[in-house]
Every structure is written in C-alpha cells, then in structure tokens.
Amino acid sequence: MMPTRPERPLVDVMAPVRPRREPIGTSVEGRLIEAVTFGNPSARALVLAGVHGDEPKSVYVARQLVGLLSNEPELGDRQCVVIVPLVNPDGYERRRRRNANRVDPNRNFPTKNWVESKSRSRFYGGSTPASEPEARAVMGLVARLQPQRILAIHSVSNRQFCNNYDGPALDLARAMSAANGYRVAASVGYPTPGSLGTWAGLERNIPTITLELPSHHSRQRCWRDNREALLGFIR
C-alpha cells in the first residue's frame, strides 16, 4: 500500500496581503505618483490625498493611514484599499495649490461642466480637460481599479471643514460624520467645475467623499480626529 502524502494546508485566501507599491504616473516635472495597495480586491476603496500642493495635512493623514495599515493590516478588515498619498508632488514640493503647469488638478477632470477659466486663477483648470498628467494618472487608476467608493482628502480654511459627498455617498458621509464630528455637506459652497467629485461621483455614480480637513487644526489632530472615520470608510 502506497503511503499517503500529507495533505497540504489550505491557503487562507482571506489572509492580509502585504502592501504593494507601484507608480501610477508621473507629474509634469517627472516625479513619481505612487499608489499603495492593501488587502484583497473584493471590495475596492480608493483614497487620494495631496491633490493640492498647499494642503500638506492631507498628505500627512494619508501617510499615517498607510503606516497604520502596514503595521496593523487587520484594522482594514482585509478589504482592498488603494491609497495615493500624493497626487500632486510638484505642487507639494513648492507648497503651491496648482501643479508645475500652474493648473489645478481638481479642476482638470473631463466633466460636462468643465470650463476654461483665467490662467491666473488659483482654480485654473487648464486649456483643455485632462490635459495634466496628475489628473490622467487618477483617471487611469479609477478605470483599472473600478473602485466601489472614493475618498479625496483635502483641507480648507474659514472653518468650512466637512464630509462633502458626490453621487450616492450620503450614507458614507453620515457614517464619517458620526466618527469625526464634521458636518455633512452636499456642496463645499462654491462651484467646482472639472472636479473629481463631479467626474467620479455625479457622472460615474461612484460614491465619492471629499474630506475637508480644518486647516487651523494641527496635522496630528487631523489624523487623530479622522482615524476611525477613515477606517470606517475602508470597511
């Protein structure tokens, strides 16, 4: 009688996956735009930060989230989350809202309401929609990932901090509000033609949250106040 081979242990298909880092594009000046992926691809959440270079608190919070999930992956409940901590590295290098072409990446998405604005405006959306590599990098990632929900982290002055939602994301905004205490807002209070929220949330029906951090709070407080809201968004 042939001896039986010991059975191989079953692979735990739900085991946490080590974070993977990959470039999704380059900026105007050739800096890498990098995505960090955690977990399995069954439930896909996308988190973006550093879209505006003069909002460093957003980058700090996103990097803290990367560090937290790297050290304690179980906190993400084994969901797939892709984090892009710095969409606009050229602007971040100069602490300037716009990219190296002096275009606001969050006004450069090819939405139905995109309009060419004055080039001197801090909200200048470029000469044509999707003209900027930073916006195209995000668009390419969304097309490939097909996320079930998107969170873009920004910061805002004048105490206008909020959980702003676009598309079918009201319940997400309310859940985040319960965790961070920020108000729920259907609008940030001014027009945003060519924005990610319009492009992804309103026109593609992807639940999209714009988390506006209070610029007058320290970056440490922004992270502390939003840690559970971010984990809740992922889960």
pLDDT, tens digit (0-9, with 9 covering 90-100), for 30-64: 999 999 999 876 669 999 999 999 999 999 999 99
**61 token code pair:** 């919070």
Question: Is residue 202 scored above 70 in pLDDT?
Answer: yes
Q: In this structure, what is the dihedral angle of CA atoms 140, 143, 145, 150, given to the nearest 10 degrees?
A: 90
Q: Tell me which amino acid residue 142 is.
A: V
Please tell me the predicted confidence (pLDDT) of residue 171. Answer: 97
- pLDDT over 70 at 222, yes or no: yes
pLDDT in tens, 140-177: 999 999 999 999 999 999 889 999 999 999 999 999 99
Q: Closest Cα partner for 191 from 129, 97, 125, 95?
A: 125
pLDDT digits (tens, 9 = 90+) for 5-17: 444 333 343 444 4
DSSP secondary structure string, 9-41?
PPP-TTSPPPPEEEEEEE-TT--EEEEEEES-T
Q: Cα separation of 134 and 138, whole Å? A: 7
Q: What is the pLDDT of residue 101?
A: 98
Fold type of domain 20-234: Aminopeptidase (3.40.630)
Domain extents for the chain?
20-234
